[in-house]
């Protein structure tokens, strides 16, 4: 049995401070695996330049070879779209692929365990963090709340798993059948149901550059995940509306009772507070509905989420 042809897909944006080190380390990793007959000699790295504004692309051009390929996107599309572009590109051009971030905070040595799981029959291998000890308190808590919320909303996620994973070519082909514009990758793969395995690792500290995933982007990712996989927020609107109706009905009976007993006293609180409460509920409901409608709007247009300007190989 011949060793599998491996493609490692790495989205990158403004990573000039670390990209050369990343290329060299991963090239050495591929060479070691080839020497161990773990992967085929034709295995390669695919960097997806997500519209970098520094000299990341120029540095990648210097490493152009059969082992190092680059997709240049025409504009910055976001991490998930860049990853999607790489996955689509390698489909049918490898036996399996591993996705990871270009900063190599994901432990590259765990790729050996991923490949071994693949050779044992796993079609999908998740890289899962053992702990979040090097995260800030805020990031640890928000991650915990996010996974807990998604679980309560009925979304099947792998806890502490991001985008460090191995996919077989079969999984890639099946994934290509998903035509959604708002793809939440972390929720898609667990629902596909292929034979899977888990590899645990400790996330490394970034050696250079700065994170490209600030709180705003993480929040957008969370909202996208919720609206892509759960209609529970829409049901909550119905429940809240019903409760407000019951509350208003009871308040009406109370007002009638007060008037009949002659104990009513004029005051702004009895008018202002219900207006504020009902107005807040209505605005919240409109906001949630707006999120879902905006997703429908984007889906109906079916616009591509990325454009490849150049393939460097």
* CA 163 from centroid of its chain's CA atoms: 7
Tell me the domain boundaries of the chain: 6-211+304-312, 232-301
The predicted pLDDT at position 282 comes to 75
pLDDT of residue 27: 95
CATH hierarchy code of domain 6-211+304-312: 3.90.550.10
Distance CA 289, CA 294 (A): 9
pLDDT of residue 183: 76
Pairing of strands 44-49, 68-73: parallel
Supply the pLDDT for residue 39: 94
- Cα–Cα distance list, 208 to 91, 99, 205 (Å): 31, 20, 9
Could you tell me whether strands 44-49 and 308-312 are parallel, antiparallel, or unpaired per DSSP bridges?
unpaired
Burial class (CB in 10 A: 0-12, 13-18, 19+), 111: buried
Residues of the chain with pLDDT under 50: 268
22 closest CA partner among 55, 45, 54, 50: 45
Find the radius of gyration of the CA atoms of the chain. 25
Q: Mind giving me the DSSP string for 117-147?
A: HHHTT-SEEEEEES--TTS-HHHHHHHHHHH
Residue written as token pair 């897909």: 9
The string of DSSP letters for 206-234 reads P-SS--S--HHHHHHHHHHHHHHH--HHH
Cα 149 from chain centre = 15
Q: Of all helices (H) and strands (E), which one includes residue 265?
A: none
DSSP single-letter state for residue 162: E
Please give the helix or strand (H or E) that residue 74 lies within, else none.
none
CA 200 – CA 202 distance, rounded (Å): 7
């Amino acid at each position: 049995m011949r060793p599998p042809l491996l493609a490692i897909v790495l989205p990158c944006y403004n990573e000039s401070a670390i990209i050369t080190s990343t290329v060299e380390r991963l090239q050495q990793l591929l060479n070691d695996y080839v020497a161990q007959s773990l992967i085929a000699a034709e295995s390669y790295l695919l960097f997806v330049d997500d519209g970098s504004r520094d000299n990341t692309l120029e540095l990648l051009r210097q490493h152009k070879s059969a082992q190092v390929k680059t997709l240049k996107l025409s504009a910055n599309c976001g991490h998930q779209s860049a990853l999607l572009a790489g996955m689509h590109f390698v489909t049918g051009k490898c036996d399996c692929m591993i996705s990871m971030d270009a900063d190599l905070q994901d432990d590259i040595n765990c790729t050996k365990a991923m490949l071994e799981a693949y050779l044992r029959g796993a079609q999908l291998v998740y890289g899962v963090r053992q702990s979040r000890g090097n995260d800030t308190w805020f990031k640890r808590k928000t991650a915990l709340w996010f996974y807990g919320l998604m679980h309560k909303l009925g979304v099947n996620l792998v806890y502490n798993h991001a985008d460090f994973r191995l996919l077989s070519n079969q999984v890639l082909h099946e994934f290509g059948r998903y035509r959604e514009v708002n793809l939440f990758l972390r929720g898609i793969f667990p629902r596909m149901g292929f034979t899977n395995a888990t590899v645990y690792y400790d996330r490394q500290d970034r050696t250079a550059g700065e994170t490209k995933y600030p709180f705003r982007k993480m929040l957008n990712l969370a909202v996208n995940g919720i609206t892509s996989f759960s209609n529970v927020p829409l049901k909550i609107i119905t429940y809240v509306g019903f409760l407000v109706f019951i509350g208003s009905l009871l308040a009406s009976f109370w007002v009638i009772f007060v008037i009949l007993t002659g104990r009513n006293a004029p005051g702004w609180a009895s008018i202002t507070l219900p207006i504020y409460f009902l107005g807040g509920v209505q605005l919240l409901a409109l906001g949630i509905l707006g999120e879902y409608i905006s997703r429908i709007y984007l889906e109906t247009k079916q616009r591509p989420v990325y454009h490849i300007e150049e393939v460097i190989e």
